[in-house]
Amino acid sequence: MGSAFVYAAARTPFGRFNGALAGVRPDDLAATALRGALAKVPGLDPADIGDVIWGNANGAGEDNRNVGRMAVLLAGLPVTIPATTVNRLCGSSLDAAMAASRTIESGDAEIVVAGGVESMTRAPWVLPKPSRAFPAGDVTAVSTTLGWRLVNPRMPKEWTVSLGEANEQLQEKFSISRERQDAFAARSHALADAAWTAGFYDELAVPVEGADLTRDEGIRPGSTPEVLAGLKPSFRPDGTITAGNASPLSDGASALVLGSERAAAGLGAEPLARVAGRGAAALEPHLFGYAPVEAANQALRRAGIGWDDVGAVELNEAFAVQSLACVDAWGIDPEIVNVKGGAIAIGHPLGASGGRVLGTLAHVLRERRERWGVAAICIGVGQGLAVVLENVSAA
């Protein structure tokens, strides 16, 4: 079996809920990221794309009917390019990239595009169909923006608590203070702001037509631990999780071009990184924030390396508390984690975040001349994914 390489990465700036991207359909966001990634491989004949694998966590609104295929058509690619959409909730686009790498390694395709999209702003309300004809009484519309909905009553109640309550329980389990969470969140904002100001994201970001957004909308450069300490808890009166130390509801899309080693000639680009290991893990649904721990450990074992070899980590910051729990469990230097900011500042459009962290990791490894990196993400309902990248220029 051959190896799979990341050749290019692109993403839209991420918008806040009901913010600058609120007027843009998710399928249009997906097409924007797709075109942006392909523009970075100028030698590519689009007809040579073997498949497009797209991530999306909702699929109940304008992202229905296989949004990956819609992105292909709206991006103006040949109608002969196939596409599929995968749903592993927050990990959907990282799952898509993992599937793309396996497709290439198996020899089923030389070039695969992976990515993901989410418009949490435009996620619709849904009505369940009645169990019998002509029911009397009112029916409640259910928001599909985030979290559990239309829950099966057979599910244990401790599994189906809100995402915030689940992370308050994680905080209790690992005794992670409010002060640590706020400091971690403030660092995320500061690093994201510095990275945009220094031009790091200029190579990754692609503008969205019709939207006045030139950088991630959620970044607050003035955030400090002292400012964040003044925010009220969001889920428990005496809790530690606030709007300031959790990722915001967001809109956006990301995309990656993956290919075999021999695909380089046709792409007109050199590979950024090799996919060296993959991991998927699961545990109790309400402990989802801790699931990246084993997923990353799996990926490292499969890559044949250990944490001492890792020079950069991109961990999606769904909540500061779960990020800190993972970093503590790995026993790594926190300073190598999310050096260009994380989802608390950048945003977390569910289906797009995995592609963002993987693309960012590839570029961070290049910039810092580190050989090995880990991209990891926690996933609602108790799952985690991780990918190990090898910087081929440092091999």
Active-site residues: which are they?
A: 90, 348, 378
Of 386, 110, 377, which Cα lies nearest the Cα of 264? 110
A 10 A CB-CB count for 89 gives: 19
The string of DSSP letters for 115-157 reads: EEEEESSSPPEE-PPPSSSS--S----EE-SSS--S--TTS-G
**CA atoms of 104 and 185, how far apart (whole Å):** 37
**CA atoms of 339 and 95, how far apart (whole Å):** 23
Phi-psi label, residue 274: left if phi above 0, alpha if psi -120 to 50, beta otherwise = beta
Decide: helix, strand or coil at residue 203. helix
**CA atoms of 363 and 372, how far apart (whole Å):** 12
Residue spans of alpha helices (H) in the chain: 26-38, 67-74, 92-106, 163-174, 178-198, 225-228, 264-267, 292-303, 320-330, 343-346, 353-368
Query: Helices 292-303 and 320-330 meet at what angle, rounded to 10?
Result: 40
DSSP category for residue 233: P
Contact partners, residue 112, CB within 8 Å, separation at least 6:
49, 50, 51, 52, 53, 100, 103, 104, 258, 259
Instruction: Output the six-digit token pair for 311.
Output: 């020079």
